[in-house]
Chain A
Amino acid sequence: MAVKEKNMQATSAMGRRFLFGTNVTVLILLVLFITIVVNFVAQLPDFRSRADLAGGFSSHRLSDRTKQIIDQVNGEIGITTVYISEDPQTSRKEYFPKLRDLCDEMKQYNKNVRVQHMHTGDERAQLRDRVQDMFRTVADEHEKAIELAESTWEGLPGQLEPLEKSIEGVRTDRNAWIGSFTTLARHSAKIGDDVENIEETRKEVEDLVRGEGIPRYQEANNKIKQTNNELKSDLEKARDWFKNMNALAEFLSDADSAFGKRTREELGVGEKLVQALVKAIGDPADTSVPDDPVPVLQDFARSAQAVSGWLVDEVTRINEFAKQTPSIEEHPRWFLRVSQGIFEMQMPLPMLLSEMAESLSGNAERARLALSQQVPKDQLQHEIRRFRQMAGNIETNFGVWKTSIETILTDGTKIDPASKALLALAGQEETFKEVLDKLGEVAKAIDDLPDLELDDLAERIEEDNLVVVECNNDVRIVKFDEVWPIADPMAMRMMADSSEETSRVFDGDSAVSGALLSMANENPFATVIFVGYETQPPPQMRQMGQRPETGPIPMDQLGTLKAKLELANFVTKEWNLGGEGEGADCPQPQEGTVPIYVFLPPASPSPPNPMMRRPPEQQFGEPELEKVRMALARGAGAIFLAAWEPPQMSMRGPMPSSYGYDKFLEDEWGIDVKYDYRLLRVVPDDRELDRFSLDIEQINHLQLSSFTDHPIGDPLRARRMLWLSVCPVEPLKNVPDGVKIAPVLEVRGSARELWAENNAGINRISYALQTGKRGATFDKDPVNSWEPPFSVVLAATKMIEPVAEEDESKKDEEGKTPEAPARESKVVVMGTGLSFIDPFMDRRVPRFRGEGKRARYATDPPPAEDAELFINAVYWLSGKEDMIAAGPVEVPLIPALESGTKQTVFSVTVVWAIVVLVVGGVVMMVRRR
């Protein structure tokens, strides 16, 4: 009983534990499930919110521009990263984390963004397949064309084999008539080469299409097309040649042909005439001359004239025959080897006759002249000896001509069977027709193929570090150099061979958003045409390396700005108003886009040089302005770039500076560009009131970010903008009717340390700095300085009258052009100086931290944000105001540290840690007491 009770108690305790255990396990699983559900829901975009404590001013933020682009894309955006490089210069460890941050930011910003990070070979293969699938339809067409070419080529050697064998047969037969034609060997060799080339191309195509990676159909088809067309062209040439040869053979084999008969008759006539000539003047070997040379010379002149006349007729006849039967000119006997001095040349038979005729005609004339001018007897006798030599040569040459032409005619009647068989085969249209038709089909199939972007992608996708951006069933691959461009391209170019580690800056935001933008929009937004006035130096000076005369912003130094514009979905072109020929004409914008003109300051006229008497150089003037007016008349937007123009030095002293569009902007837009003023930021002197020194950092990198609420500048407020050679731009008091001007970037009246100085004032300040008087300080000269407020960038609009359409198709039934509505014309005038040229945009920004002896030199990344203003202005002008935004921010960096700083900081941190330990020790001791 007791045992049973104990057992029951034990069972009861076990059961209770089991019950509790089960209860707790279920509870834990339930809580785990709730935790998972809560987390799952919390990750859903609709329930997720993010607070940006940095207010957008951090390197780990999406730029506003990228956010706008993402918002504008309809449908899903796929971003796949493959960063697997182990090369220290491009390692995943160093360069992937920031990219991952960016991708995560994008994913968290918009639920349509799907991000994948890949790094295994299998994943890469899947990615390749996916990219390939996106182009499947077009790729299939390319593949079909390749298959057609391959099947056509496969049967080609068999089809050409009989012909090749026949050719080889006559080439090895020394007696074969056609074998003596060198052209046959040339055609044979070419066709042989083409067939070999086909085999090589097939292998290359195999590698391109069925090798590793994405098939490169486009490249494969280009190779096929080239090889196919070469073979087709060579076969066509061979076909035509054989056709001609067949005709020639048929012609020559007719012994009774009119040409043959006539030639033989003429040879008889010619022979008699030549004999008469020799008889008239005497044997060349005979040294004796008649006592009375006059009759001999008279006979000679007559005979020579007769032979010459016959030869001229014969040349005409032979040439006519050669024209009708061009393949005769390929006959090996048609040419003669003639020695002229040390040179040996080939001369066609008709030319030999021509030369003989010319020689005879000249000598006959010479004999007549000698007879008519009462020349002494001994001289006439000497002439007889000379004419005998000449007549001997004529006789010899006639013999050569006779032998050659007779051989040609005789050989033609005895064409061997092998040659006849070849000509019979090759002369038939069918021999080549089938092959040429098939090759023609291949050529047509390839010509009809649509463009395939897969090749470019195939190349890019093999790189170790890349980002694949997919949207709207399109794909772009962003390369490593685009995500991580070199921090200081100018310095890198100068030390190209250096083995130092390349410093890079993260530009993934722009690179990825640029790829998205180009996919989200079928066409570019506008064509940006940079308009310069650059004149070429004279040719002799060009050879000496003299560069074109350019303004302060040369067209070839805008590469970085153009690249940024292209990333912002614009096309760029150039128009040189000072160019020659077609180069001076306004380029057409890309189809489907509006033009936006960017007028660069034209080259200033060169100062006159009294030492050189040269005509005045070509200068920017009214003809160029008229072209500008014509370009803008249809309402195209324009940006006028202006810079501070220092005076030019000449032998007569400084010349006043100039700005080519000054008058134009005043008259048409009421905007005054103060190009002879430069904006300066000064530092008040702490010892003398009203005296100043220059801020060294800001001489070449003037910080100016006081944007107004105009759409162009509004998103850029509080951004770091650095400018070079800035000049003020102001609206005139009386602006033309209808023009509305708004400031975009200005210098406010409260800016006490900013003003503009004219060239005289700049000279005065330079003098003060050079001499170092009164601590190298200067005062403000009210005569030369211009006080703020004033603007640096202005935007202006006006309505323009419609321009009569020249297009006939747009005229109505009565032949009248429908009246176009008035359009709004917009311009932006930027006094932002030289801030957009490559040497400025690609250079790191020098920085001095601290003061006096403690000042440290450091550099910041190049001033990339300046271009944001320009891009926003282009968006505004092209009517894409919704795209106006701020690009990625620049990150505050740790400056260069003085030597020993790190040791000091480390000591502080160690001491601080020890303090904590000591405090603990003290607490322990106090507690023990």
Chain B
Amino acid sequence: MSGESQAKVLDTGTASGRGETFDGGGPVGGSGMAAMTAITQRELASLFYSPIAYVVGFVFLFLTGCFFVAETLQPGSEASMRILFDRMAALLVIALPLLTMKSVAEEFATGSIETLMTAPVSDAQVIVAKFLGTLIFYAALLATTLVHVILLSVYADPIGSVVFGGYVGLILLGGMFIAAGVFASCCTRHQLLAALMAVLVLAVFTFAANYGAEYGGQLWLREVCSYLNVLGHFSDFSKGMIDSGSVIFFCSGTVFFLFLATKVLESRRWR
């Protein structure tokens, strides 16, 4: 993979141009990594050129702004971003599937998946590349919310390290959500259906699990729901506490969904 071919991919920015980048390189080794990088860059570019991403970004920022003013910047309440982080985590249940819905589904819809399947890159690399592309875009989106940190610092003295912990948590949580979104996107050629599937899956791990953890009829059910509750694991980070258990939870969840996505993509070869 040369620098020239990478530039070409970025310029083209379409699924059909992808084949040009894979000039006989195998799915593993240096050229495999290069192909993966190229897919990541292309995914990132497609998000940056997508109007839906900006609309999602606008709505996300607008709502977090509302929550910030209404709940975080309350005189007498604790000077921390904790409540806002919790709200952001809940918003991501809807926001991130909207970003990931086209990642693979669009390839199916346009037929470019066939080109991708014949390219010298493994299915896992394709999935990971798509995941990384969305994750980078998501990180950029998160960076825009730093405006709230700056505003809070003007009026109070939040503890910087706790805010940092919250962002670490949001990245890990976002990673898991994106992986679930990519998995959903692999399951169908219809983007809206993919988004809906992802929202449903994430809602189970967030709102349903949260409700179950709180109001589950049996103790064992509450315990299980409590463990599956993504928002519960995230609250540690929003408190400025990095818990290895929660880190493992998010990472293993991410890997599991990426594995599922890979297997779904792989199944096209033998179905």
Contacts and interface: CB of A to CB of B under 8 A. Distances in A.
Interface in B141-173: 144, 147-148, 151, 155-159, 161-162, 164-165
B157 A892 contact: yes
Nearest to B152: A894
Nearest to B151: A905
Contacts of B270: 16-17, 20
B252 A35 contact: yes
A50 B245 CA distance: 8
Contact of B57 (A52, A902, A916): A916
Given A20-B270, A48-B243, A905-B151, A914 B58 contact: yes
A906 interface: yes
B259 A31 contact: yes
A119 B54 CA distance: 43
A51 B48 CA distance: 35
A59 interface: yes
Interface in B51-65: 51, 53-55, 57-59, 61-62, 64-65
A902 B267 contact: no
B149 to A, nearest CB: 12
A269 interface: no
Nearest to B76: A893
Size bracket, chain B contacts? 35 or more
A49 interface: yes
A912 B244 CA distance: 35
Interface string B169-209: 00000000000000000000000000000000000000000
Nearest to B244: A49
A906 B263 contact: no
Contact of B53 (A60, A120, A920): A920
A585 interface: no
A24 interface: yes
B65 A901 contact: no
Contact of B242 (A53, A893, A914): A53
Contacts of B217: 120
Contacts of A32: 256
B118 interface: no
A3 interface: no
A51 B255 CA distance: 23
Task: State the main secondary structure of chain A at its contact with B.
Answer: helix
A858 interface: yes
B241 interface: yes
A798 B55 CA distance: 75
Contacts of B271: 17
A909 B155 contact: no
Contacts of B72: 894
A42 interface: yes
Interface in A31-63: 31-32, 35, 38-39, 42-43, 47-55, 57-60
A620 B142 CA distance: 69
B240 interface: yes
Given A906-B65, A909-B151, A910-B65, A42 B245 contact: yes
A915 to B, nearest CB: 9
A563 interface: no
Interface stretch (A249-257, A295-303, A587-595, A921-929): A921-929
A846 to B, nearest CB: 14
B263 A917 contact: no
B51 A27 contact: no
A54 B243 contact: no
B219 A50 contact: no
A447 interface: no
B208 to A, nearest CB: 18
A909 B76 CA distance: 22
A196 to B, nearest CB: 48
B75 interface: yes
Contacts of A24: 263, 266-267
Interface of A: 16-17, 20, 24, 27-28, 31-32, 35, 38-39, 42-43, 47-55, 57-60, 101, 108, 116-117, 119-120, 123, 503, 858, 891-897, 901-902, 905-906, 908-910, 912-914, 916-917, 919-921, 923-924, 927
Given A28-B263, A117-B222, 18 more contacts: A17-B271, A20-B270, A31-B256, A43-B227, A50-B241, A60-B239, A60-B241, A119-B214, A892-B157, A894-B75, A895-B156, A896-B76, A901-B155, A909-B151, A910-B65, A916-B54, A920-B53, A923-B48
24 contacts: A16-B270, A17-B270, A20-B270, A31-B256, A32-B256, A39-B248, A48-B243, A50-B242, A50-B244, A53-B162, A53-B241, A54-B241, A59-B78, A116-B219, A117-B222, A503-B76, A891-B79, A892-B159, A893-B77, A893-B78, A893-B156, A912-B147, A917-B55, A920-B55
